[in-house]
Amino acid sequence: MIRVTGLSHRIGASTILHDLDLTLPRGKLVALIGPNGAGKSTLLRLIARLEPLQQGRIQIDGLDLATTPSARLALAMAVMGQQARIASRLRVGELVGFGRWPHHHGRPRAADHQAVDQALDAFGLTPLRHRFLDEISGGQAQRAHLAMTFAQGTDWLLLDEPLNNLDMAHARALMARLADLVRGSGRSVVTVIHEVNYAAAWADHVVAMKDGRIVAEGAPATVLTEPVLSALYDTPIEVARHDGRPLVLHHHRHDDLDAPCPGPATETRLALH
């Protein structure tokens, strides 16, 4: 499991994370949710050692982040950041192949080739493996990056807003893949998710964050409730149930459609106090 103790983080004068203590369970699909600026991405990036640790301690399956060499950590967790467009002209198969680099450091063995084949297959990329990344669609490229992370073969996968720029169908397919991954191969996935309903539909464990603190955590049914979410987003939110899972309804003002009410700008201003 991932154990975070006493974690604080500052950027300039502003504190992004306030003395967090958190344990993320193994073998689950964990979703980090919360409003903009809650510190979800910062937390994920700190766990993934993409940002230097300022204060506090993070352990991944007993490996202390501060003392374990980066190359060793690459065998325990794989990371997919919010990718910028890469300038390299690589084929899909080559990109996924780099996921095996922590295992072979330049001399791929049969097991590595096999892992790459599996990853390509798992993400439906086998027909595209010889295509250049700049010649396929954005959704396909996203899948290629994810396959690379998968090919790394680590117990932990950390994903920073993987649904960004994906349309409804692709987003859903991605979440289904992640859920299969967790159920089928016993991997553990931690992902930052912006749209609550993807967490509601697919996650096993939800961590809700606000203003650099953890507001609630636990099974979706216990976290994704009307009082928690309304307080989390400072917006009245209804939660219904669909197929036995929570379904968050927030797309219009249900209660007072006709009544005059404060506009959204006032609401957020109130929330700041």
Partner 1 sequence: MKARPLVLSGLVLSALILASLGVGAASIDLGGSDPWTMLVLMQSRLPRTLALLLTGAALAVAGVVIQSLVRNRFVGPDTAGTGESAALGLLAVTLLAPAAPIWVRMIAASLAAMAGTALFLAIVRRLPAREVMLVPIAGLILSGIVGGVVTWIAWEADLLQFVATWLMSGEFSGVIAGRYELLWVAGLAALLAWFAADRFAILSLGDEVATGLGLSSRGVMRLGMVVVSVVSALVVVTVGMIPFIGLVVPNIVARIMGDNLRASIPVVAAGGAGLLLACDLLGRVLRHPYEIPVGTILGIVGSVVFLWLLYRPASHG
Considering only 12, 14, 62, 69, the residue that binds partner 1 (CB under 8 A) is: 69
Cα–Cα distance, 189 to 233 (Å, whole number): 24
- DSSP assigned state of 134: G
Query: Applying CB under 8 A, does 98 fall inside the site for partner 1?
Result: yes
Considering only 86, 249, 261, 270, the residue that binds partner 1 (CB under 8 A) is: 86
Q: What is the x/- site pattern for partner 1, positions 192-231, by CB under 8 A?
A: ----------------------------------------
Query: Applying CB under 8 A, does 46 fall inside the site for partner 1?
Result: no
AA letter at 161: E
- Kindly report the number of other CB atoms within 10 A of residue 46's CB atom: 23
Query: Applying CB under 8 A, does 66 fall inside the site for partner 1?
Result: no
Q: Are 52 and 70 in contact (CB under 8 A)?
A: no
Cα–chain-centroid distance for residue 91? 25
Binding segment toward partner 1, per CB under 8 A, in 31-39, 93-101, 224-232, 233-241:
93-101
Residue 192 tokens read as: 């930052």
Query: Applying CB under 8 A, does 83 fall inside the site for partner 1?
Result: yes
Query: Applying CB under 8 A, does 88 fall inside the site for partner 1?
Result: yes
Closest distance to partner 1 from the beta carbon of 134 (Å)? 6
Q: Are 239 and 225 in contact (CB under 8 A)?
A: yes
| 3-state SS assignment for residue 232 | helix
Buried b (16+ CB within 10 A) or exposed e, 76-101: bbbbbbeeeeeeeeebbbbbbbebbb
Q: Are 87 and 166 in contact (CB under 8 A)?
A: no
Q: What is the x/- site pattern for partner 1, positions 100-119, by CB under 8 A?
A: -xx--xx-------------
| 3-state SS assignment for residue 104 | helix
Query: Applying CB under 8 A, does 164 fall inside the site for partner 1?
Result: no
Cα–Cα distance, 179 to 156 (Å, whole number): 13
Closest distance to partner 1 from the beta carbon of 62 (Å)? 17
Binding segment toward partner 1, per CB under 8 A, in 96-104, 168-176, 228-236, 252-260:
96-104
Residue 130 tokens read as: 């010889």
Task: Give me the residues that bind partner 1 (CB under 8 A), please.
Answer: 48-50, 69-75, 78-81, 83-84, 86-91, 94-95, 98-99, 101-102, 105-106, 132, 134-135, 149, 152
